[in-house]
Amino acid sequence: MNAEQNVYEGLTEQHGDTTDGHWAFGTGFSDAGVEITAPVPAGVDPADLAAYCLMLGDDALIYSHRLTEWVSNAPELEEEVALANTALDLLGQARILLARAGEVEGAGRDEDRLAYWRTDAEFRNVALAELDDELDFARCIARLLIFSTWRLAVLNRLLDSSDPVIAAVAGKGVKELTYHRDYAARWTLRLGDGTEVSHRRMQTALDWVWPRVGELFRTHDVERRLVAAGVATDPADVRAEFDDVLDQVLGQATLTRPERPAAGPIAGRSGRDGVHTEFFGRVLAEFQSLARQHPDATW
């Protein structure tokens, strides 16, 4: 069995109706322990590797939570199921990445502790993941198109990461994100090249999300160091691929690439440094509320 299978099967095979699993995600990685506990690649600072896993994991975790808000709110049952499944795919990626971060940092924090007991300044997700789309379906699709196109390009380049856990996440994540991107692209075409109203709303949604696109391609110092070690990829290197995909989709959808300026970092710092938008406090309060009210609960 390869590393990818071990890691992902370890998330589910050990979580039947047990009494020792945490109520939240659960942390039963017994079958995948050899992968989660794999040695840090030679020449890599464990703190950098942990930080990078948090970046990738927090993007997926927070966006997954935002997508769950569409359960019971999507325009059709089929779309509700599709968005819920997309959220579950991202949650699976987040669980492994947070578990790896906790393992290599050596501070005794597991995936649940990292998800539910960090403060907002300790999260490393990009702003795109946390925005409130106000249950506007066009905004939902615009953000999913941007996020999945970007993350797919990044994970494609992480297939050969020198960290075996990151490589395993990329191996499965590429398949998942290919579907996510296709789903978002098909809806973009349907709305953009549909009625006058749907076209206008889809264009407005792209204008809404566009200021947050620039952050996706800013290279953090942690990423820069890990690129040299063969662990990470430079997000700036995927911009050309991202632009090419967007140009194709938007062209067919008769939509225009927005020209709105990118939202700049605050005092040179961004989500990768723990600086978030006004929406994040509410997201985190909702996301962490049950765990904080019942810290000893199990399922």
Q: What is the mean pLDDT of residues 60-69?
A: 98
Helix (H) or strand (E) holding 47: helix 46-68
Alpha-carbon distance 267 to 260, whole Å? Answer: 21
131 pLDDT above the threshold of 80: yes
17 or 56, higher pLDDT:
56
Q: pTM, whole model, 2 decimals?
A: 0.89
Q: Is 160 helix (H, G, I), strand (E, B) or coil?
A: coil
- pLDDT tens digits for 282-295? 999 999 999 999 98
Q: For 57-71, 219-233, 267-281, which range has the lowest pLDDT when averaged over its residues? A: 267-281
Superfamily (CATH) of domain 3-13+24-293: Ferritin, core subunit, four-helix bundle (1.20.1260.10)
Give burial (CB, 10 Å; 0-12/13-18/19+) of 261: exposed
Alpha-carbon distance 297 to 299, whole Å? Answer: 7
pLDDT tier, 262 (very low <50, low <70, confident <90, very high otherwise) = confident
Q: What is the mean pLDDT of residues 186-211?
A: 98
How confident is the prediction for the chain on average, in pLDDT? 89
pLDDT, residue 267, reads: 65
- pLDDT tens digits for 87-109? 999 999 999 999 999 999 999 99
pLDDT, residue 111, reads: 95
Provide the residue ranges of all domains of the chain, joining segments of one domain with +: 3-13+24-293
